[in-house]
Amino acid sequence: MKSEERVIQVFGSHLGLEELEEIRDCLESQWIGLGPKTARLESALACHLGVDDFVLLNSGSNALQMAVHLLDLPEGAEVILPSFTWVACASAVMLCGLKPVFCDVDPATMNLTAASVERVMSPRTAAIMAIHYAGLPAPVYDLAQFGLPIIEDAAHAIDSRVAGRACGTIGDIGIYSFDSVKNLAMGEGGGLVAKDPARLERARKLRLCGISRTGFDASQRQERWWEHEIHEPFAKMTPNDLSAAVGLAQLRKLPAAQARRAAIWTLYQRELHDISWLQTPCDTLAEDRHSFFTYCVQLRGGGRDQLARHLLNRKIYTTLRFHPLHLSPVYQGNTSLTVTEDLMARAINLPLHPRLSDADLGRIIETIRAFRG
Ligand X SMILES: Cc1ncc(COP(=O)(O)O)c(C=O)c1O
What b/e string do you get for 126-138 counting C-beta neighbours within 10 Å, with b at 16 or more? bbbbbbbbbbbbb
Binding segment toward ligand X, per CB under 6 A, in 56-64, 165-173, 216-224, 279-287: 56-64
Instruction: Tell me the C-alpha distance between 185 and 188, whole Å.
Output: 8
Site string (98-137) toward ligand X, x via CB under 6 A: ---------------------------------x------
Q: Hey, which residues does 296 pair with through a beta bridge?
A: 349
Site string (178-207) toward ligand X, x via CB under 6 A: -x----------x-----------------
Q: Is 144 exposed, middle or buried (0-12, 13-18, 19+ CB in 10 A)?
A: middle
Site string (249-288) toward ligand X, x via CB under 6 A: ----------------------------------------
Query: SS3 of 323, please?
Result: coil
Instruction: Tell me the C-alpha distance between 105 and 338, whole Å.
Output: 9
Q: Which of 38, 85, 250, 349 binds ligand X (CB under 6 A)?
A: 85
Nearer to ligand X, 35 or 189 (CB): 189
Does residue 60 interact with ligand X by CB under 6 A? yes
Residue with nearest beta carbon to ligand X? 60
Q: Which of 31, 54, 84, 86 binds ligand X (CB under 6 A)?
A: 86
Site string (12-51) toward ligand X, x via CB under 6 A: ----------------------------------------
Instruction: Tell me the C-alpha distance between 277 and 303, whole Å.
Output: 9
Nearer to ligand X, 191 or 272 (CB): 191
Binding segment toward ligand X, per CB under 6 A, in 106-114, 120-128, 149-157, 239-247: 149-157
Nearer to ligand X, 152 or 241 (CB): 152
Q: How far is the CB of 205 from ligand X (least distance, A)?
A: 21
Q: Return contacts of 173-176, CB within 8 angstroms, 24+ apart.
A: 173/67, 173/70, 173/71, 173/149, 173/199, 175/60, 175/63, 175/64, 175/66, 175/67, 175/151, 176/45, 176/60, 176/63
Q: Hey, which residues does 67 pair with through a beta bridge?
A: none
* Dihedral class, residue 289 (left if φ above 0, else alpha if ψ from -120 to 50, else beta): beta
Interface size with ligand X, residues (CB under 6 A): 15
The answer to whether the beta carbons of residues 158 and 127 sit under 8 Å apart is: no
Q: How far is the CB of 111 from ligand X (least distance, A)?
A: 11
Instruction: Tell me the C-alpha distance between 317 and 315, whole Å.
Output: 6
Kindly list the residues in this chain that would bind ligand X in the complex (CB under 6 A).
59-61, 64, 85-86, 88-89, 131, 153, 155-156, 177, 179, 190
